[in-house]
Amino acid sequence: MFITFKKYISEKTVLSDRDWAIIKPLCIIKKLRKQQYLLQEGEIWKYHAFVCEGCLRRYSIDEKGIEHIIQFVIENWWAGDRESLANETPSRYNIDAIENSAVLLIRKDNFDIICKKIPEFNELMNTILQRSLNASQLRIEAAISFTAEEKYLHFIKSFPNIANRVPRRMLASYLSITPETLSKIKNQITKK
């Protein structure tokens, strides 16, 4: 598990053995069974979380009781609720495992210590924050400018590795269409 994290970081920046000696003791590996929560609405999120293995979903529940999946997170991406983490406010999101998963957690205070001690790490984390923002922007554009069919085609083109791992009804939720509509769209496409 830890090796996945180390490999991920090492592809992006170079850290010394001494750096890793700082980081490693502060990492917590958490295994999640399918369906298990990493975070529940109302909790205050205290970690930075890196998914080593598996697949999670982050979603909110609206006042009608409907789940809206904001994001799928697979291995080699970061999970969590940065807003709750930064502001120490109760989270509006739930995060749970779609597959049996392994997550590497670093408590916020420890994370900040690492960032202070290792400037390269700090810089990388800012780059990653920037990348998260880019991903958000793309998600907004897809949500506001595509029809249901375009959303689906765009998704399977952009994230083929996610599309075939998540249940259809969750994919529909992510695309903000109903499972029935998704089903009909797939049907239409194959007919063409």
Partner DNA sequence: CGATTCTTTGAAAACAGTCAATCTGTGTGG
Partner DNA sequence: CCACACAGATTGACTGTTTTCAAAGAATCG
CA-based torsion, 104, 109, 111, 117: positive or negative: negative
| 181 lies in the binding site for DNA (CB under 7 A) | yes
Site for DNA in 63-82 (CB under 7 A): none
Site for DNA in 116-155 (CB under 7 A): 147-149
Residue partners of 107: CB distance under 8 A and separation at least 6: 26, 28, 46, 47
The answer to whether 154 and 140 are in contact (CB under 8 A) is: no
| DSSP H or E segment with residue 190 | helix 179-191
Helix axis angle, 168-175 relative to 179-191, nearest 10°? 100
For residues 22 and 27, what is the distance between their CA atoms, to the nearest angstrom? 10
Cβ nearer to a copy of itself, comparing 21 with 129: 129
| 168 lies in the binding site for DNA (CB under 7 A) | yes
Cβ nearer to DNA, comparing 10 with 176: 176
From residue 114 to residue 153, the character string flagging contacts with a copy of itself as x (rule: CB under 8 A) and all else as - is ------------xx-xx-xxx-xx-xxx-xxx--------
Residue partners of 110: CB distance under 8 A and separation at least 6: 26
Residue 162 contact partner, candidates DNA, a copy of itself, none, CB within 5 to 8 A by sort of partner:
none
Cβ nearer to a copy of itself, comparing 129 with 189: 129
Give contact residues for a copy of itself (rule: CB under 8 A): 60, 62, 66, 68, 70, 82-83, 86, 126-127, 129-130, 132-134, 136-137, 139-141, 143-145, 176
